[in-house]
Amino acid sequence: MKAGLAIVDFSGVYEAEGFLPELQERGVPYRLVQFRDLEGTSCYCDPDAEAEILRRLAPVRTSGIRWIDSGDYHYVTKILAEGETAPFTLVLIDNHPDDQEPAFGGVLSCGSWVREMKEKNPMLEAVWTLGPDHRIRNSAGTVDRELEGEIGDLLAALEGKRVYLSVDKDVLDRSCFRTDWSQGTYPLDVLKGWLGEILKKEVVAVDLCGELTPSKGATPEDLRINCETNIELQDFILDCLK
């Protein structure tokens, strides 16, 4: 996987957190794609907005690490994955499965994008979810068990597969990350353990979301905690890719 870094900005949260200034101070190169001017994107993405997002994201499709704002925009993974031209397995780490029926006439949403990928992306071979109900599941229905940290069955299934990894940090405990969605209780070290093992496979991209924005009530303390966790994850992923 190429280690290029892209920041997908719908809300300005990465500036508010101090994540972008920290990257700049460290001299970490990244490509910034702005969507703050685009309407019809929060939680639900209307067709016109989806087409425009696809157009603007074209220059960063080759970036291996993509920060995609709050969980309201997790559907961006579905849009980015449309650029995959070879079969892949989606590994979703999230406190929610994001495979609901669309609520409004098939409009893409942060809660339905996995279902839409299953139905519309011919390159998607399988989906594994880690986190919802504290379980690990696969779309084949052969694995559905409690998730207690060990993921050997997933790692075995990924052998020889191209992997697309999408992470919503709402899987984490509030002590290390704050979101406005219902959260899991996993420590950051557990998430890093999963990432460290999965990144040994042929991972083609890593998407990360879950930010808590000031408009959704983020306090300075929330922003500080989230920025620290983001920096730690960014550094960890880059180290894994060396």
Give the pLDDT of residue 149: 81
pLDDT grade, residue 104 (50/70/90)?
Answer: low
What average pLDDT does range 85-90 have in this prediction?
Answer: 97
Q: Domain of 181?
A: 5-241
Q: What is the CATH number of the domain that holds 75?
A: 3.40.800.10
Q: What percent of the chain has pLDDT over 70?
A: 98
Give the tokens for residue 159.
């052998």
What average pLDDT does range 182-206 have in this prediction?
Answer: 97
The predicted-structure confidence for 153-183, as pLDDT tens digits, reads as follows: 999 999 999 999 999 999 999 999 999 989 9
Higher-confidence residue of 3 and 17: namely: 17
Q: Which amino acid is at 131?
A: G
What are phi and psi for residue 191, nearest 5 degrees?
-60, -45
Average pLDDT in the chain: 95
CB atoms within 10 A of CB 240: 18
Three-state secondary structure call for residue 211:
coil
Region of 159 please: left (phi>0), alpha (psi -120 to 50) or beta. Answer: beta
Q: Are 33 and 80 in contact (CB under 8 A)?
A: no
Calculate the CA dihedral of residues 108, 113, 116, 118 and round it to 10 degrees. 170
CB atoms within 10 A of CB 162: 18
pLDDT grade, residue 105 (50/70/90)?
Answer: low
CB atoms within 10 A of CB 28: 14
pLDDT at 2 over 80: no
Give the pLDDT of residue 242: 82
Give the pLDDT of residue 1: 75
Total domains in the fold of the chain:
1
What average pLDDT does range 123-149 have in this prediction?
Answer: 96
pLDDT at 123 over 70: yes
**Strands of 5-9's sheet, edge to edge?**
31-34, 5-9, 65-67, 202-209, 162-168, 88-93, 124-130, 135-138, 144-146
Q: Are 10 and 70 in contact (CB under 8 A)?
A: yes
Region of 217 please: left (phi>0), alpha (psi -120 to 50) or beta. Answer: left
